[in-house]
């Protein structure tokens, strides 16, 4: 049976905090048994807490009752030990351990809890199946690497709040039980007990509330906010996720960018000890697509896109010619040293671009000995081949990869993804290298071929660029938004926009989105009303907090920076959520489960 | 049409921050028109932002176009003005305004937004119907008093996080989509799209997760956590509310109390500028009931309960005698100076105690001239009457109020509530007076007469007091818990307990609560499993954050410290949440609305 703590059991400090300065002191430590070693007449126990490990020593001078308990102690038993700090014998010093010079000669000892043998060892970088880790998350979180990550996340939250508070931002909590959004296909719904048949939604973001807070005159708002999205989970998505949510009044895009560059500067300095240079580079959306085939370009390496359309405009090679003649393009990337890739690897690249709807991948391998092999060279005439090599600045050792399509977007998507895919293979990306930029001037709208209508690319409250307002009626596809993303190492870490604060522009925006007056009045009436009572110009931004933590810690799986994450199918393996509930609870809510046969 | 900001429109500082030191400077201000006064050849505009007000001045030297726009400006128009700070003429100085000595002579002027006439004036303490305020919350929040409250709340959150961070607490986010609790009659349920027929619950508190975090070795946890409870709303309850949620490992009750006394000391000093003396007073639950008839006693005034049971044990007055003989009690409070209350007022007190199930209220009015009137004196003999007055230490001017009942709890509830009700009427409670205490040694269990079983008073994970463990099988009603509440001015500001970390005690607790092994294994299996792998002793506490803010600001209505609160019936008047949703969304979730006919 477990022993209980009493008031006199006061921990001196954490295990990892003892040093040679403590030698001779009577101390009390508490923690978990990392390892017990029984050497016959000696027992050693490594005692672990969140700070590290200290060695407990038991020998012939230890009271028998204490020695017997140490003898019985197994991994993960919870211990309270009192004793005297002493130097280890010279031979026993462990230089790999911060407390490796010392140990505690134990005089009093309580087993506060015993433990079954855990299903996996509580050690760093243990190679355990993710499902097992998540099922026993309370044990997984004991592992030192997980401890560090969760503590780092806490530190980042603190740095964030401190920075924004110093800059006059007010933390305001917005509701989590909100009105379902009209097209909220991805809303989590919450049935109301008081109003049967009515539902709350969990917010996909505090967007509307933070805009209303600007109308309320709070001027600068910050919230580390939980958001919810009910959709198929990708590797970096969770049904509930956290964002650093900001909004500012009486500002332009430049003010939002400046505040957030200051924030990133602070984070990189305090969190990683790195100085970053501001202002950060910027690319317009158009430039980013043209050069990197992506609106979240990874600047840690080159492999930029080159437009070969003009170079090959009069080619007889049908694959290229067709793409060009139907208004598309031929573009290429050059992989420095890429000639070392095998045919098999190049074939796998061709497979890769098909997932982005590219019909194929043309390639040219320029070997170190200046010979070449190519999938397309035989279809071009000599001058065309030469022109391509020149345009690409190709030198021996390079690999040229070409995509042609009648749709520019497919060319961009395929090559944009491919350059990053290959970069991870060539090792051109170095750990600890951070490349950030702003992408600006996003298109305001996206045309959906299927629905035959425009959708807002960011959201319907995004302000068009002033110089493009003129096209809103006549050529909406040309209108650029005052919207900006912050991209770190090829990942969108955050994004935002200047909002529409002028009711007339908002109404026009709704019209462009195909809504009649009655429709948008019904859907957004309270918001449109609010804007009639004096709205300040305002703009904001949100960082994906989980994503920012994982970027800073260079962790691929976002679940490793969340204490209790859900898996791909949105369930939590430890508790088994979600779960069926009893029909009484449902009938009180006025709903029933409908089973499809 | 609204004018837009451009990059050159940079606010110098907030309106309320200008002083005579700025005289002569060219400045730019932005904000809302609080008031426009047109004096013929002069126009004044009070421009408001979150910091305060500055006066804009327009006269014959103002460019005509600017003057015309100022002329058109109405209340709540949003303005960007540039000009030069100057001293006001001596006669125009407004001593009631921090910026009352100065004004800005405006040279450039943009109307960024116009405004309809708001449905109520944007002024402090405006006497507007709560429903109207909440419907136009974005306007209500513009009022300076609401601005101050929401900003104060933000400041309290900052103080809280700083304090706990300095004390080694780690902020960890726990999930908001959790497994429904087995008896979660008050859970909000969230249907799962991926698992039709299954539900998440929104957490009533992070209780289980924070305990698991202690098992994970994080040692000290803090979260300002959103919690959800689907129940009929009382004045101080919201369907979603915020708590300061804490948990600590390797501690006893004393450590939790010490940390939180340090927190309150910090809060009162930094937030209110008050020094509070620690350690705070403590009362056991039994003492609190005996003296104040309440487990959340208000110590700002006396009116303590006096037990007259022994004094009246042999009385012939049936009302008192019956109560005593059936094992109940007769208790009284004395209201100093209460003889001034009229019969009508005393009758209203009698009505008041009936809401607490008391059958009546006996009273004795001891007038200043030493005459008396009484509802019961004629039924007692002279010595009994004398004994009561002596026991009550009554002096002329006092009012004695007596409740007798066969159930002590009814006597306590009635008098406990009555003493506070009367204190609000006598004016004995002074603004700015704070009286805090800890209430400890709560009963572990409550017996429910209807269900004929015990329920956990705090929650089923609360540790019994060690000396009472022996009664757990034989006399569970006698067992006290290691549980503690922090009470401020008669309100439970927070509460917590030491948790059961010993599986055997936890299992016994479930048995006492009437659960068989299969039942608790099914309901809490994952938790019981977790405790088998080495659980540290742990304990925690949670403050109601909304309530703490309202206590510190001395605000009765908790809705006044929440930016977007819900009303009594759990709806939000501004957006109309909750709302019906379309059947397509429901069928995707595999549920249907069932209408009762």
DSSP state, A565? -
Residue of A76, A209, A532, A534 to mutate, interface with B, max B Cβ within 10 Å: A534
pTM of the complete model: 0.95
Give me the pLDDT at residue B184, please.
58
* Minimum-distance CB partner of A240 among B165, B176, B580: B176
Cβ <8 Å between A78 and B534 = yes
Q: How far apart are CA B81 and CA B11, in angstroms?
A: 9
Looking at A50-101, which runs of residues are DSSP E strands?
52-58, 78-87
Residue of B29, B191, B530 to mutate, interface with A, max A Cβ within 10 Å: B191
Q: How far apart are CA B464 and CA B509, in angstroms?
A: 9
How far apart are the CA of B337 and the nearest CA of chain A, in angstroms? 46
pLDDT category of residue B182 using cuts at 50, 70 and 90: low
β-sheet bridge partners, residue A366 = A372
Give me the pLDDT at residue B124, please.
87
In degrees and rounded to multiples of 5, residue A428 shows phi and psi of -70, -15
pLDDT category of residue B597 using cuts at 50, 70 and 90: very low
Task: Find the Cα–Cα–Cα–Cα dihedral B384, B390, B392, B395, rounded to 10°.
Answer: 120
**pLDDT tens-digit readout, B14-34:** 999 999 999 999 999 999 999
Cβ <8 Å between A217 and B32 = yes
How far apart are the CA of B282 and the nearest CA of chain A, in angstroms? 17
End-to-end alpha-carbon separation of chain A, Å? 52
Buried b (16+ CB within 10 A) or exposed e, A461-474: bbbbbeebeebbee
Give the tokens for residue B505. 């005690």
DSSP state, B522? H
> How many other C-beta atoms are found inside a 10 Å radius of the C-beta of residue B431?
5
Give me the pLDDT at residue A69, please.
97
User: How does DSSP assign B234-265, residue by residue?
Assistant: -TT--SEEEEEEEEEES--HHHHHHHHHHHHH
Residues from chain B contacting residue A1 (CB–CB below 8 Å): 502, 504
Considering all CA atoms of chain A, what is the largest pairwise distance in Å, rounded to the nearest integer? 94
Cβ <8 Å between B250 and A11 = yes
Chain A with chain B: Cβ pairs closer than 8 A: 384
**pLDDT tens-digit readout, B227-273:** 999 876 665 679 999 999 999 999 999 999 999 999 999 999 999 99
Question: Mean per-residue pLDDT for B159-164?
Answer: 98
Give the residue on B whose Cα is nearest the Cα of A528. B575
A277 touches A289 (CB < 8 A)? no
Runs of H (alpha helix) within B406-564: 408-426, 471-474, 503-512, 517-530, 545-553
Residues from chain B contacting residue A195 (CB–CB below 8 Å): 569-571, 578
* Minimum-distance CB partner of B78 among A114, A240, A536: A536
How far apart are the CA of A368 and the nearest CA of chain B, in angstroms? 53
Give the tokens for residue B545. 């954050």
Instruction: Report the percent of chain B where pLDDT is more than 70.
Output: 98
Buried b (16+ CB within 10 A) or exposed e, A565-594: bbeeebbbbbbebbbebeeebbeebbbebe
* Minimum-distance CB partner of A590 among B137, B579, B594: B594
Cβ <8 Å between A199 and B580 = yes
A488: Cβ contacts below 8 Å, ≥ 6 apart: A434, A435, A436, A551
Residues from chain B contacting residue A230 (CB–CB below 8 Å): 193
Residue of B216, B234, B237 to mutate, interface with A, max A Cβ within 10 Å: B216
Residue in the block written with tokens 């230089």: A95
In degrees and rounded to multiples of 5, residue A50 shows phi and psi of -65, -15
Residue in the block written with tokens 């080495």: B534
In degrees and rounded to multiples of 5, residue B376 shows phi and psi of -125, -15
What average pLDDT values come out for chain A (597 residues) when binned by 10 residues? 88 97 98 96 96 97 97 98 95 90 97 96 87 96 97 98 98 96 79 89 95 98 96 75 98 97 98 97 98 98 97 96 96 96 96 96 95 95 96 97 97 98 94 97 93 88 95 94 98 97 92 89 87 97 98 94 93 92 82 73
B156 touches B243 (CB < 8 A)? no
Give the tokens for residue A176. 């989590």
- What is the pairing mode between strands B43-49 and A199-202? unpaired
Residue B595 has pLDDT above 80, yes or no: no
Cβ <8 Å between B174 and A142 = no
What domains sit in chain A, N to C, each tagged with a CATH number? 15-113 (2.40.50.140), 140-280+536-597 (3.30.930.10), 301-426 (3.30.1360.30)
B58 touches B70 (CB < 8 A)? yes
Q: How far apart are CA A503 and CA A225, in angstroms?
A: 28
* Minimum-distance CB partner of B141 among A216, A575, A588: A216
How far apart are the CA of B452 and the nearest CA of chain A, in angstroms? 21
Q: How far apart are CA A276 and CA A267, in angstroms?
A: 10
Q: Which of B27, B120, B144, B526 is nearest to A217 (CA)?
A: B144
């Amino acid at each position: 049976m477990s022993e209980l703590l009493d008031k006199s059991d006061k921990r001196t400090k954490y295990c990892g905090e003892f040093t040679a300065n403590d030698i001779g002191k009577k101390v009390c430590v508490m923690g978990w048994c990392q390892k017990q070693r029984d050497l016959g007449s000696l027992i050693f126990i490594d005692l672990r807490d969140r700070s590290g490990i200290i060695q407990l020593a038991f020998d012939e001078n230890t009271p028998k009752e204490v020695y017997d308990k140490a003898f019985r102690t197994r991994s993960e038993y919870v211990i309270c030990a009192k004793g005297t700090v002493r130097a280890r014998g010279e031979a026993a010093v462990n230089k790999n351990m911060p407390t490796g010079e010392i140990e505690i000669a134990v005089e009093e000892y309580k087993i506060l809890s015993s433990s079954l043998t855990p299903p996996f060892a509580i050690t760093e970088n243990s190679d355990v199946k993710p499902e097992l880790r998540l099922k026993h998350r309370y044990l997984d979180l004991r592992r030192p690497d997980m401890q560090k990550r969760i503590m780092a996340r806490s530190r980042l939250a603190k740095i964030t709040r401190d920075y924004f508070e110093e800059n006059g931002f007010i933390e305001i909590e917005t509701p989590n039980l909100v009105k379902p959004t009209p097209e909220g296909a991805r809303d989590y719904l919450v049935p109301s007990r008081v109003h049967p048949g009515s539902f709350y939604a969990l917010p996909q973001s505090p967007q509307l509330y933070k805009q209303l807070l600007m109308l309320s005159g709070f001027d600068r708002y910050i919230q580390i906010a939980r958001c919810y999205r009910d959709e198929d989970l990708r590797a970096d998505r969770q049904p509930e996720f956290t964002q650093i949510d900001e909004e500012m009044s009486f500002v332009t895009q430049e003010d939002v960018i400046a505040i957030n560059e200051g924030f990133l500067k602070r984070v990189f300095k305090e969190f990683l000890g790195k100085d970053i240079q501001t202002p950060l580079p910027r690319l317009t959306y158009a430039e980013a697509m043209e050069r990197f085939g992506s609106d979240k370009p990874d600047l840690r390496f080159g492999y930029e896109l080159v437009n070969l359309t003009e170079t090959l405009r009069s080619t007889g090679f049908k694959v290229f010619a067709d793409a060009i003649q139907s208004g598309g393009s031929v573009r290429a990337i050059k992989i420095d040293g890429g000639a070392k890739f095998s045919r098999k690897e190049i074939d796998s690249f061709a497979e890769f671009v098909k997932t982005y709807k590219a019909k194929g991948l043309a390639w040219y391998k320029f070997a170190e000995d200046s010979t070449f092999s190519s999938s397309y060279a035989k279809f071009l005439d000599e001058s065309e081949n030469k022109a391509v090599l020149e345009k690409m600045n190709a030198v021996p050792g390079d690999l040229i990869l070409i995509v042609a399509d009648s749709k520019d977007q497919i060319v961009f998507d395929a090559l944009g993804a491919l350059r990053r895919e290959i970069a991870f293979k060539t090792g051109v990306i170095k750990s600890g290298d951070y490349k950030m930029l702003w992408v600006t001037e996003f298109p305001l709208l996206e045309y959906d071929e299927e629905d035959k209508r425009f959708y807002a690319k960011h959201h319907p409250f995004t302000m068009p660029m002033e110089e493009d307002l003129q096209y809103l009626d006549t050529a909406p596809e040309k209108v650029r938004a005052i919207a900006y993303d912050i991209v770190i190492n090829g990942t969108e870490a955050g994004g935002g926009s200047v909002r529409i604060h002028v009711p007339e522009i908002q109404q026009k925006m709704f019209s462009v989105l195909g809504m009649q007056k009655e429709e948008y009045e019904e859907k957004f009436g309270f918001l449109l009303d609010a804007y009639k009572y004096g709205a300040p110009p305002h703009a904001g931004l949100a960082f994906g907090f989980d994503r920012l933590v994982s970027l800073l810690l260079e962790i691929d799986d976002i679940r490793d920076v969340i204490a209790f994450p859900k898996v791909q199918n949105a369930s939590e393996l430890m508790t088994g959520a979600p779960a069926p509930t009893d029909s009484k609870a449902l009938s009180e809510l006025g709903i029933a489960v409908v089973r499809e046969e």
